[in-house]
Amino acid sequence: MDWLEALTLAVIQGLTEFLPVSSSGHLSVADAAFEAIRGAPTEGGLFFAVMLHVGTLGAIVAYYRKPALRGAVDLVGGGIRRETSNPAQALVIRSVLLACVATLPAVVVGLGLEDQVEAAFESRLAPAFGFLVTATLLLAVGRLPEGEKGPSQTSWRDALLVGMAQAIAITPGISRSGSTIAAALALGFSRTWAVGFSLLMAVPAILGAALLEAKDIDPGSLSPETVRMTASATALAGVIGYGAIAWLVRIVRAGRLWYFSVYLLVMSGVVLGSVALSEGPSSSGERRGERSSSVERTDGQGRRSEALDRPGGVILGGSGAGAVGGVDLGHADPAGQGSSGPSAVAGVGDDRPVPVGE
């Protein structure tokens, strides 16, 4: 991997991890493109993959640093025993617990269907169909009226259902953020809380996946050049991820998720067209076999790092954009408010990162 490829993957990771366009799908397409140019499989390395996700995790922490710090101070200063007498602290605790519950389905699916997931990542057509699924979900919820649920009205059943939506993002092309936000809106979440809860769910998913793979990193195999290149890519992914979060909360609050549907439909057509052009009837089987080795990012000892692109510690589905492009996201929210009531954990009101709740 050279500098151009590393920085390109960092840009893609930063954008698609949070935007509802699927990071896994876009990274699969990028891998295929670099493989075609280079004539050899992409080898990003475990260290590089882990650090890119650390960068996007840092973007979430940085964006919601004020409510996160306030909640941490409340917990340390007052103790959990005082949660019933401190509404803000109670919402922090409840929101974190809801996010943990929502992570469980992805962990179960990831562990139980690992072979099927690997097979999906070996398919060059999977991202195209995943993009179509995500586009359909975003179009469907775009027609729904805004709900009123916030953290205090969100039930454990709601959290599990949103978690199930996250679990379907094991397939490349299906956006983690897109599926979770769509499910939350369908369950009656306010737009502000829907995007805030989706981002909150991303924290244990990204952190779990990074820790799972970090144990297999061999420090002795890292050259100074690799470390410098990875550090630069990590910082770039974090900065771009921060901007992607700001764009995401704006467009969700404005009720314009269908913008991403248009982009995903175009991407699906591009992928289908490229596969049709590159694969002939006589060579499709052979190319499929070659692709099975190229979609896996490995370190110098051949270990996989694909788990970092799928939800729940084992499978971290994109959105990304998992999911974290290509639309006018800079307009302010015309309504001015996306929710009502007290705020505690995550959300936005205008151009500045502010606490979100109900």
Beta carbons within 8 Å of 228's beta carbon, 6+ residues apart: none
Domain assignments of the chain as residue spans, ordered by start: 3-309
- Taking only the tens of pLDDT, the chain with its 358 residues reads 788 888 998 999 899 889 998 887 777 777 777 777 777 665 556 678 788 888 999 999 999 887 777 666 665 655 544 444 567 677 888 888 999 999 999 888 877 776 666 666 677 788 888 899 999 999 999 888 889 999 999 999 999 999 999 998 878 888 989 999 999 999 999 999 999 999 999 888 888 777 777 777 777 777 888 888 889 999 999 999 999 999 999 999 988 888 899 999 998 998 888 888 877 554 444 444 544 444 444 444 444 444 444 443 343 444 433 333 333 333 334 344 444 443 444 343 344 444 444 4
In this prediction, residue 71 carries a pLDDT of 64
Joined together, the tokens standing for residue 214 give 């970090």
In this prediction, residue 196 carries a pLDDT of 93
CB 21 within 8 A of CB 257: no
Question: pTM of this prediction?
Answer: 0.71
In this prediction, residue 318 carries a pLDDT of 43
The separation between CA 53 and the C-alpha centre of its own chain, rounded to angstroms, equals: 10
Instruction: Annotate 98-117 with b (16+ C-beta within 10 A) or e (fewer).
Output: bbebbbbbbbebbeebeeeb
Nearest-angstrom CA–CA distance, 344 and 352: 16
Which among 1, 27, 30 has a CA at the least distance from the CA of 13? 27
In this prediction, residue 136 carries a pLDDT of 93
